[in-house]
Amino acid sequence: MEELARSAKASSRILAGLSTADKNACLLAMATALESATAEIVEANAADMKTGAAMGLSSAMLDRLRLDAKRVAGMARGLREVAALPDPVGRVLDERVRPNGLKLRKISTPIGVVVIIYESRPNVTADAASLCFKSGNATILRGGKEALNSNLKIASTMIAAARKALPGFPEHAIQVVPVPDRDAIPELLSLTAYVDLCMPRGGEGLIRAVAECSKVPVIKHYKGVCHVYVDAAADPAMATSIVLNAKIQRPGVCNAMETLLIDRKIAPKFLPGIAQQLAAKNVEIRADKDGLELLGGAEALPKLKAATEDDFYREYNDYIMNLKVVDGVQEAVRHINKYGSAHSDSIVTGSEPVAQAFLSGVDSAAVYWNASTRFTDGGEFGMGAEIGISTDKIGARGPMGLEELTSYKWIGIGSGQVRT
C-alpha cells in the first residue's frame, strides 16, 4: 500500500507540470479507448456481476454495478466533457504588491494525491479519475470489491491510452487498489506523507468508517437532511411548487427535502392543501403534534402519522417526509441547525428581512431563498461536472467541481528583497 501511495505522489509531481493541451489530449484518447474497449469492459463487468449475485446483492445494487455499451459510452462522454472544461490549475486567486516591491500571487495548484473510496458503481472510476487528472492530481481509487474487475479494466484502459497519447504520462497517475480486503483502507489513509485528501462517496456508514480511521483530511457529506421552510409571507403557489419539487422530483438523492417546516401563521391556510397534494403523490407524512392537529388527526390522510424526534434527523431518500409547525424564522433556523445535515435548506417568503435572517442564520453549505433545494449540484451550479458534495467547513463546501479539487500556493517575485 505504501509503494502504491509513494508512486502516486511521484506521479503527482509530473501531473502538476502538464500543460492543459497535454491533459486534454490524454482525456480525449482515454474516451476513445474506453469506447473501443467496450466489449472487454462489459466482459470484465460480467465476472463482477456473477460475484455480486453470489454475494447476494440486491437487484438495485446489481443494477448499479452493471455496465453495458450505453454506460460505457456515458463514461466516454463524461471524459470528453471534462476535457472541454477550463483548466482549474494556475488561476490567479489574489495578487498584491508589497511596499518593498515584492509581488505576491496566490495561484491555484493541484492538491496532490487524492483517494476516492466508493461503492458499487464502476463508472465512478472513470468520472473521478478524469476530474482528478484534469486538476493535476494523482488518484487512488478504492471501489467496492464486487466491482474490482470492472474498475481495474477501466483504469488500465485509460492509462494505456494516455501513455500512447503522451509518452511522458506518469503511469501511476491513476491507480485502483488491487486488493479487496477492508484493512487496505486504514493503511492507505494513514500515509500522510503521500496522501493529501480522501473523498469517500456512498452511504453514511461507509463515510463514517472512513472519517473515523483516516489520518489524512477527508471531505465528505454524511447525508442530506434538507429542509424547506414556508414563511408566513410566502406566496402559496410558489411554496407549493417548491415543496413538491424538493420532495418528489427525485426523492432518492441527497438534496431532496426530508422535512417541511411551516410558519404557524400560515399553517392553517397552507397545510391542508399541500398535504393533500403530497398525499396524492403517495408521500407519507410524519407530522409533529401541531401539524397533525391542523390536518385533523392521523386518519385524515391515508399515509399520515406522528413523527418521533428521531425522525427529524433522518434522511429517508424515499416518498416519506417530516412536517413541523414552527413559530417563525428563528425557530426554523434553530431546528435546521440542530436536526439538519448542513447540506441544503430553503426558505419561501416574500419578505427580504426574514429571508436574510434565514440565509445568514442557517449554517449549511447551500441556502436558498424562493428556490428548490434540488439545485445543489455541480451541473446546476455551472461547474460542468461534480466529484461530490461537501458539508464540511475546511476546504471545499457545497458542490465540488474542478476548482474544488485544487489547493494554492503563494508565489513571491522580487528583485533581491530581504527582510529588515
Minimum Å gap between C-beta 111 and a second copy is: 5
Closer by beta carbon to a second copy, 28 or else 387: 387
Helical (H) or strand (E) element with 274? helix 267-280
Closer by beta carbon to a second copy, 58 or else 420: 420
Minimum Å gap between C-beta 363 and a second copy is: 7
Closer by beta carbon to a second copy, 153 or else 374: 374
Minimum Å gap between C-beta 125 and a second copy is: 23
Closer by beta carbon to a second copy, 53 or else 413: 413
Closer by beta carbon to a second copy, 247 or else 286: 247
CA distances from 252 to 103, 123, 224, 385 (A): 50, 19, 10, 20
Closer by beta carbon to a second copy, 273 or else 412: 412
Q: Could you give the CA distance from residue 361 to residue 322 in angstroms, rounded to a whole number? A: 21
Closer by beta carbon to a second copy, 165 or else 400: 400
Q: At what angle do helices 38-55 and 69-84 cross, to 10 degrees?
A: 120
Q: Which three cell numbers stand for residue 75?
A: 463514461
Cα of 396 vs its chain's centroid, Å? 11
Which of 314, 241, 242, 253 has the alpha carbon at shortest distance from 284? 314
**Residue at 62: amino acid letter:** L
Q: What are phi and psi of 249, to 5 degrees?
A: -65, -35
Q: Could you give the CA distance from residue 368 to residue 217 in angstroms, rounded to a whole number? A: 28
CA-based radius of gyration for the chain: 24
Minimum Å gap between C-beta 245 and a second copy is: 4
Residues contributing to the site for a second copy (CB under 8 A):
13, 16-17, 96, 98, 102, 104, 109, 111-112, 192, 196-197, 211-212, 215, 217, 219, 235, 238, 241-242, 244-246, 249, 337, 359-361, 363-372, 374-376, 380-382, 392-395, 397-399, 407-420
Minimum Å gap between C-beta 265 and a second copy is: 20
**Residue at 91: amino acid letter:** R
CB 399 within 8 A of CB 199: no
Minimum Å gap between C-beta 113 and a second copy is: 10
Closer by beta carbon to a second copy, 180 or else 236: 236
The residues that bridge with 263 in the sheet, in sequence order, are: 326
Minimum Å gap between C-beta 44 and a second copy is: 34
Q: Could you give the CA distance from residue 319 to residue 350 in angstroms, rounded to a whole number? A: 28
Residue 281: CA count within 13 A, CB half-sphere: 20
Minimum Å gap between C-beta 224 and a second copy is: 14
